[in-house]
Amino acid sequence: MQIPYTIEERPETGLNNSKLGIWVFLASEVMLFGGLFSAYVFLRLAAPEGDFAYWGSKLNVPLATLNTLVLISSSVTVIMSWASLKLKDFEKYKLYMGLTLLCATIFLVIKYFEYTSKFHHGYYPSSSNFMAIYFTLTGLHGLHIIGGMIVMTYFWLPAGNKLWHTDPEHFTNRIEIAGLYWHFVDLVWIFLFPILYLL
C-alpha cells in the first residue's frame, strides 16, 4: 500500500508529506537552538561586566571567518546538486554533492584545530561560563553537521542514490529535504559566529 502524497503534492496544501515533515522538524530545531540562545543571553546578562568579552577574545576570528565562508559555499553547492537533479544531470549532482561533503569535512577539520588549540591553552568548558556555552553550542552544531553528512553521504553513495534510477522524482525530493536541513544548519552557524566570536 502506497501512502498518499509521499511524492506528489496534496493540492490544497501544495506540499508533499516529507516537505511538511521537515518544516515541522526544523521548527522544533529552532526551539532547541532558541532555548540555548536564550540561555546565552541570560548568562551574558548575569555575568560580571566584561567577562564574556574577555573570554570571547580568546577565540580565533580568522579561522571562524574562513569556516563561515566554507559553510556558505556548501549551502550553494547543495542547492546546485538539487538543481542538477531537476535538470536530469546525475553526474553534476554527484559532483556538487561531493563538493558539499568536502566543505563539511573542511569545516569539521578547522573546528578540530580550534578545539585542540583551546585545550592546548588550558581552556575547557569548565573554565568560564562563556567557554561552557561556546563548547556546548558549537559542539551541538557540530553534531548537526555530522548528522547531515551521514545522510548526504548515503545519498551520494550507490546504496542511497540507486533510487534515482527507479524513481527520480522521489530521489530529487529527498535531496531537497536534505538541502533544507543543511541550510538550517548553516543558518545556525550564521547566528553562532557573531554572538560567540564578534560580540
Partner 1 sequence: MMVMRWQLAYPETPVPIVGWLLGETGILLPEIYNSLGAMHGTIMIFLGVVPLAVGAFGNYMVPLQIGAPDMAFPRLNAASYWSYFIGGVIMLSSFFMPEGAARSGWTSYPPLSIFESGQTIWLIGMVFLITSSLLGSMNIIVTIVQLRAPGLSWWRLPLFVWTQFVTSFLLVLAFPPLEAAAILQLMDRVAHTSFFLPSGLVYAGATVDVAGSGSPLLWQHLFWFLAHPEVYVLILPAMGIVGEVLANNTRKPLWGYSSMVYASVFLGFMSFIVWAHHMFLTGMGTAMSAFFQTTTMIISIPSVVILTSFFISLWGGRIRFNTPMLFALSFLPMFGIGGLTGLPLGIGASDIHLHDTYYVIGHFHYVVAPGTIFALFAGIYYWFPKITGRKMSEALGKLHFWPSLIFMNGIFMPMFIQGLAGVSRRMYDGGEIYAHAQDVLQWNEFMSISAFLLGAAQVPFIINILISIFNGEKADRNPWQATTIEWSAPSPPVPHLNFEGDVEVYRGPYEYSVPDAETDFLPQTEK
- Please compute Rg for the chain using Cα positions: 19
**Backbone phi and psi for residue 48, each to the nearest 5 degrees, phi listed first:** -60, 150
197 near partner 1 (CB under 8 A): no
Distance of alpha carbon 190 from its chain centroid, rounded?
Answer: 10
Contact range with partner 1 by CB under 8 A, out of 37-45, 56-64, 76-84, 182-190: 37-45
127 near partner 1 (CB under 8 A): yes
Other beta carbons within 10 angstroms of residue 143's beta carbon come to 10
Nearer to partner 1, 72 or 147 (CB): 147
| Shortest distance in whole angstroms from residue 49 CB to partner 1 | 11
Which sign does the torsion angle of CA 160, 163, 168, 173 carry? negative
Judged by CB under 8 A, the residue of 4, 162, 190, 191 near partner 1 is: 4
| Shortest distance in whole angstroms from residue 193 CB to partner 1 | 19
Block residue for cell numbers 553550542 = 137
Nine-digit cell at 110? Answer: 578547522
| Shortest distance in whole angstroms from residue 13 CB to partner 1 | 6
DSSP 3-state of 89: coil
Query: In the window 140-159, what residues touch partner 1 (CB under 8 A)?
Result: 140
Nearer to partner 1, 25 or 184 (CB): 25
Nearer to partner 1, 83 or 140 (CB): 140
Which of 53, 14, 43, 199 has its CA nearest to residue 136? 43
43 near partner 1 (CB under 8 A): yes
**DSSP sequence for 157-173:** SHHHHTHHHH-HHHHHH
Catalog residues that contact partner 1 under the rule CB under 8 A.
Answer: 1, 3-5, 10, 13, 15-18, 20-21, 24-25, 27-29, 31-36, 38-39, 42-43, 46-48, 51, 124-129, 132-133, 135-136, 140
